[in-house]
């Protein structure tokens, strides 16, 4: 019974007490107060909506849910988006022959990495722009690469390896944040045409479309690679490949060509103006 109905049943008693109008008014006020109290009590009987529980606190109801939560915990945190560099932060070399080392491995000798790269023709990109001064003129890596056409060398620049596009034979591997391994940084490396089709120490026989490029070795640290670093490996997501994430390169070692996480996507966007879905691999335990 609602508070207005209660007031209608009790109001005749107030009319009979005409001489006590003030008392009746006070009683009416009291009835209103009682009605409000009853309404509040009725509302309190309804169960309050409980706040949503955090996902971490939700108890799994089945073995499948437990396995799914465990798998989620194994995946590394997503890397933060890397902004597209300004036009002055990279240079695009148009319709040149260049060395593509993005998917290469390298042999370490005397603290230098020698990578077996692939000779390509077309447009490529390099970041930073690697400008240098020659006879008072400021040149870029594209100028250096053009000069090498008749002088026995070429430069290493970047384009997206088709094999890492979804469905291809290769994948991008992301090392865990804080990995402290060494990798070859080959964007801007100098490559020697005399090595094409030849045998090179520590690497072996090269095909006619393969070339050796000299690349500096970058040592990832917790500070310089808080989100890890990336390299290219087989699309099967071979977990043993992640052993290089903390490898300390020594004389005679083989190391991958690597890059900061997301760098390839940034350069891909700048070069082609679009992205493709890629094969990606992450360590199952971090």
**What is the predicted pLDDT for the residue at 228?**
86
Nearest Cα residue to 106 out of 252, 242, 247 = 252
For the cut 90, the answer to whether the pLDDT of residue 274 exceeds it is yes
- pLDDT band for 218, please (50, 70, 90 cuts): very high
For the cut 80, the answer to whether the pLDDT of residue 225 exceeds it is no
Instruction: Read off the tokens for 86.
Output: 């300004």
**What is the predicted pLDDT for the residue at 187?**
96
Helix (H) or strand (E) holding 66: helix 63-74
For the cut 90, the answer to whether the pLDDT of residue 242 exceeds it is yes
- Mean pLDDT is lowest, of 29-43, 163-177, 227-241, for 29-43
DSSP-derived 3-state class of residue 205: strand
- Mean pLDDT is lowest, of 5-19, 103-117, 200-214, for 5-19
- Mean pLDDT is lowest, of 74-83, 188-197, 232-241, for 74-83
**What is the predicted pLDDT for the residue at 129?**
80
Instruction: Report percent pLDDT > 90 for the chain.
Output: 60
For the cut 60, the answer to whether the pLDDT of residue 98 exceeds it is yes
- pLDDT band for 86, please (50, 70, 90 cuts): low
Averaged pLDDT for residues 88-111 = 95
Averaged pLDDT for residues 77-97 = 71
Q: Identify the sign of the CA torsion 245, 251, 257, 260.
A: positive
Q: What is the pLDDT of residues 105-135, one digit of tens each?
A: 999 999 999 999 999 999 999 998 888 898 8
Averaged pLDDT for residues 11-30 = 39
Cβ-in-10-Å burial (0-12, 13-18, 19+) of 274 comes to exposed
Residue 286 and residue 282: Cα distance in Å, rounded?
9
Name the average pLDDT for the chain.
78
For the cut 90, the answer to whether the pLDDT of residue 2 exceeds it is no
Averaged pLDDT for residues 229-247 = 96
Q: What is the 3-state secondary structure (H, E, C) of 103-166?
A: CCEEEEECCEEEEEEEEEEEEEEECCCCCEEECCEEECHHHHHHHHCCCCEEEEEECCCHHHEC
Whole-model pTM: value is 0.70
**What is the predicted pLDDT for the residue at 224?**
65
Q: What is the pLDDT of residues 162-172, one digit of tens each?
A: 999 999 999 99
């Amino acid at each position: 019974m609602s508070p207005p109905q209660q007031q209608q049943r009790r109001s005749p008693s107030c009319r009979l007490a005409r001489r006590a109008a003030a008392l009746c008014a006070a009683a009416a006020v009291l009835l209103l107060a009682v009605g409000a109290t009853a309404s509040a009590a009725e509302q309190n009987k309804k169960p309050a909506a409980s706040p949503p529980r955090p996902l971490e606190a939700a108890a799994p109801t089945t073995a499948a849910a437990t396995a799914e939560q465990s798998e989620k915990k194994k995946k590394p945190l997503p890397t933060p988006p890397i902004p597209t560099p300004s036009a002055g932060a990279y240079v695009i070399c148009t319709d040149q022959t260049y060395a593509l080392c993005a998917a290469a491995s390298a042999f370490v000798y005397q603290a230098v990495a020698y990578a077996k790269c692939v000779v390509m023709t077309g447009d490529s990109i390099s970041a930073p722009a690697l400008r240098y001064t020659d006879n008072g003129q400021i040149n870029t890596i594209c100028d250096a690469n053009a000069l090498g056409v008749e002088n026995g060398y070429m430069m290493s620049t970047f384009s997206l390896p088709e094999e890492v596009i979804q469905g291809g034979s290769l994948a991008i591997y992301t090392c865990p944040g804080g990995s402290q391994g060494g990798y070859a940084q080959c964007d801007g490396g100098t490559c020697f045409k005399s090595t094409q089709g030849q045998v090179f120490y520590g690497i072996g026989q090269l095909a006619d479309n393969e070339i050796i490029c000299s690349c500096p070795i970058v040592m990832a640290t917790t500070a310089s690679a808080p989100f890890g670093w990336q390299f290219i490996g087989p699309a099967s997501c071979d977990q043993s490949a992640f052993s290089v994430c903390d490898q300390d390169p020594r004389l005679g070692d083989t190391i991958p060509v690597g890059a900061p996480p997301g760098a390839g996507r940034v350069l891909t966007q700048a070069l082609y103006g679009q992205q493709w879905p890629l094969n990606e691999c992450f360590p199952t335990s971090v």
